[in-house]
């Protein structure tokens, strides 16, 4: 059984940086690999930002982690995910500091669900989140994701 999560989150789609100016920038930066690989269109990034401006920081699904997304019709070319790890949190709301921004681009209403389930299993353990935040570089993040996802099977 392959792990969709680690198929989608690779060295090409994981970035680490010290800090970003705003949550909007966090989404733009996190989305860049998918844009460069032509998995999403520029309007998808705008759709994610507008969705949060409209509905509030609902993408902060668990402390320290945001999973911005929009509709498949908003410019998704292929099911994809990217991850941005921040050393300093960006605030999606007054009490919503985020260190991990995981962009989810679903190409339809179902294909992403397995990856989302795997991601949820990894993120339901606060120590897993802290360990991923503590990583120095994408290779370490992949190692942790692989380790935690395997543990949940």
Catalytic site positions: 69
Q: Which H/E stretch holds residue 93?
A: none
Ramachandran area for residue 38 (φ above 0: left; ψ -120 to 50: alpha; else beta): left
Token duo for residue 39 = 């998995």
Give the C-alpha distances (Å, rounded to integers) separating 24 from 8, 30, 78, 95: 22, 10, 22, 16
Is residue 74 within 8 A of residue 43, CB to CB? The reply is yes
d(CA 131, CA 38): 30
The DSSP bridge partners found for residue 86 are 17
Which string of DSSP letters, residue by residue, matches 100-138?
EEEEEE-SSSSTTHHHHHHHHHHHTSHHHHHHHHT-SSH
């Amino acid at each position: 059984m392959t792990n969709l999560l680690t198929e989608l989150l690779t060295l090409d789609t994981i970035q680490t940086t010290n800090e970003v100016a705003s949550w909007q920038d966090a989404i733009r930066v996190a989305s860049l690999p998918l844009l460069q690989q032509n998995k999403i269109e520029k309007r998808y990034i705008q759709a994610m930002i507008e969705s949060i401006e409209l509905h509030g920081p609902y993408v902060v699904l668990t402390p320290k982690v945001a999973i911005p997304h929009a509709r498949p019709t908003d410019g998704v070319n292929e099911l994809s995910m990217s991850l941005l790890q921040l050393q300093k949190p960006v605030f999606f709301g007054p009490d919503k500091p985020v260190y991990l921004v995981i962009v989810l681009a679903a190409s339809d209403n179902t294909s992403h669900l397995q990856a989302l389930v795997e991601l949820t299993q990894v993120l339901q353990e606060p120590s897993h989140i802290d360990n991923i935040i503590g990583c120095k570089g994408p290779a370490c993040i992949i190692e942790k994701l692989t380790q935690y996802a395997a543990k949940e099977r």
